[in-house]
Amino acid sequence: MRYISTRGHTDPKTFGQILLEGLAPDGGLYMPEAYPRVDAATLERWRGLSYPDLACEILSLYVDDIPPADLRAICARTYTAEVFGSDAIVPVRSLSPGFHIAGLSNGPTLAFKDMAMQLLGNLLEYELARRGEELNILGATSGDTGSAAEYAMRGKKGIRVFMMSPHGRMSPFQQAQMFSLTDDNIHNIAVEGVFDDCQDIVKAISGDADFKRRHRIGAVNSINWARLVAQVVYYFWAYFRVAPDNAAEVDFTVPSGNFGNACAGHVARMMGLPISRLVVATNENDVLDEFFRTGLYRIRGRDGTFETSSPSMDISKASNLERFLFDLLGRDAGRTRLLMADRLRQEGSFDLGDDPVFAEAAERYGFRSGRSTHVDRLAVIRECWHQHGTLIDPHTADAVRVARAHAVAHVPMIVLETALPVKFASTIREAVGQEPPRPARFEGLEHLPRRLKVLPADAAAVRAFVAGTLQAGPG
Ligand SMILES: *Cc1c(COP(=O)(O)O)cnc(C)c1O
């Protein structure tokens, strides 16, 4: 398998080559040259596999520069009951007949980012050791991504993490989760500013090619292909738990922000998994809902991006949408570049509403969408608790609401649960008037010793801290 750029100007690369890269050099996103197709006999064989074995089978279709035995070992040590809470790894439960919830949030940080990030940590450690290289990950987080990256990279040889977050702005649980990591290779930087300031600093430092090269600075953001392919696995897994046989079709609803999760569903569908509809659920930040309803893709400014009670979906643009767009445009890299680079830069939007190709998003690729608001998510959380005895988090609630609007009789609906309620306790209290339960391993988290560096919202200060830490030696 080789990987090409959605903008068409890079030589085909291998999985190992793109593992440590973000954007392709031409500004595009990496895509497999073609989707491997899975036949009926393969589906039948996969149905009985354990989660790590299924992950290995799917990954091996995309990876040909890691020996199979090594890949198997990496999957086996990633997807364990110890890390993900049960042998199922992704338990699937029913809310009501035909309506299911796939639990993607039982990893170390209780959000679905762990599903991919834990694998990426092990893949990176393997690849860096093989190359005799080191990597310093610089990132910005408003919560889930940063902690998932830190928990995936803690203690990994050859890797250090410098993670910026807006000082005092994450939920108390999220702060405790990140700052209580005291591993030598994890560096929390609390920036005196907002999330956008953190992102600007990452951009400023990443734009300094010399500093970046000298200090081996890299990223693990949501456009990383390895993260995306790791997410393909649970679509197959959940399908096998719910579909009575391998001909039956199911629908998925996905709480969406950067479109990484939903895009993995698209990839699973392109591989031949019988998914009928892929429903994209957003909150008030409805960039994706607007696109899938009307064909208009319009990125939002800071003023047009709202702080909501499902904060991990508070995005101004959907970084991974370019991957789907590339397929939608018949893999026309020139046209993808025209829309995503030129048109977005000049006008901040493009509109495919009148283009015949847009109808295919719904018809050929099965996409549907919907949005939800704070009031909706409170009502859904309350109702799930009182009617079904299950507590769901605000992001999952957005999806449950949208899923109901799109559910079709006799087609099982699977909602992806992307976080556990304990991460967003204040919204849960507002909805049901009580504290969300906390898994035993998180008791007393807020009282653990913390390690963090508070810095002003200034790229020079962060740069100096990174350089100084690296100079101080190992760790
Ligand atoms: C990141 C995240 C999302 C959005 O996922 P995308 O892949 O960015 O669409 C949804 N819910 C939670 C809890 C998340 O952490």
Predicted confidence at residue 135, as pLDDT, reads 95
Domain-located, residue 210: no
Cβ of 398 below 6 Å from ligand 1:
no
Domain-located, residue 238: yes
Cβ proximity of 284 and 373 under 8 Å: yes
Cβ of 395 below 6 Å from ligand 1:
yes
CB atoms within 10 A of CB 391: 19
Domain-located, residue 309: yes
CA of 16 to the centre of ligand 1 (A): 25
Q: What percent of the chain has pLDDT over 70?
A: 99
Residue linked to tokens 């939007």: 349
**Type of residue at 252:** F
64 Cβ contact list (under 8 Å, min separation 6): 1, 14, 15
Is residue 97's pLDDT more than 60? yes
466 Cβ contact list (under 8 Å, min separation 6): 136, 138, 162, 205, 215, 217
User: Which residue puts its alpha carbon closest to atom 7 of ligand 1?
Assistant: 260
User: What's the structural domain count of the chain?
Assistant: 1
CA of 300 to the centre of ligand 1 (A): 18
Helices 225-242 and 51-60 pack at an angle, to 10 degrees, of 130
The three-class DSSP label of residue 38 is coil
Q: Report the CATH number at residue 399.
A: 3.40.50.1100
CA 453 vs CA 158, 188, 373, 466: distances in Å: 22, 6, 35, 11
Complete edge-to-edge strand list for the sheet that includes strand 453-456: 217-218, 135-140, 159-166, 186-192, 453-456
CA 368 vs CA 154, 319, 457: distances in Å: 38, 19, 40
Domain-located, residue 333: yes
pLDDT, tens digit, for every residue of 109-122? 999 999 999 999 99
Residue linked to tokens 């008030």: 284
Is residue 475's pLDDT more than 70? no
Predicted confidence at residue 424, as pLDDT, reads 92
Q: How far apart are CA 112 and CA 128, in angstroms?
A: 25
Q: How far apart are CA 120 and CA 311, in angstroms?
A: 24
- Say whether 113 is catalytic: yes
H/E stretch holding 414: strand 413-417
Cβ of 105 below 6 Å from ligand 1:
no
Nearest ligand 1 atom, CA 419: 13
Q: What angle do CA 446, 451, 456 make, to 5 degrees?
A: 110
Domain-located, residue 313: yes
Cβ of 144 below 6 Å from ligand 1:
yes
Domain-located, residue 278: yes
**Best probe residue, ligand 1, of 144, 147, 173, 227 (max atoms within 8 Å of C-beta):** 144
Q: How far apart are CA 309 and CA 374, in angstroms?
A: 6
Read off the pLDDT band of 195 (50, 70, 90).
confident
Domain-located, residue 329: yes
Domain hosting residue 241, numbered range: 92-109+232-432
Predicted confidence at residue 22, as pLDDT, reads 79
CA of 418 to the centre of ligand 1 (A): 7
Contacts 24+ apart (CB under 8 A), 341-348: 341/7, 341/27, 344/297, 344/299, 348/298, 348/299
Strands 275-282 and 250-255: parallel
Rounded average pLDDT over 197-203: 90
pLDDT, tens digit, for every residue of 39-50? 999 999 999 999
Read off the pLDDT band of 474 (50, 70, 90).
low
Give the dihedral sign, CA 273/255/289/119: negative
Cβ of 314 below 6 Å from ligand 1:
no
Domain-located, residue 339: yes
**Best probe residue, ligand 1, of 101, 418, 420, 424 (max atoms within 8 Å of C-beta):** 418
pLDDT, tens digit, for every residue of 120-146? 999 999 999 999 999 999 999 887 889
Cβ of 257 below 6 Å from ligand 1:
yes
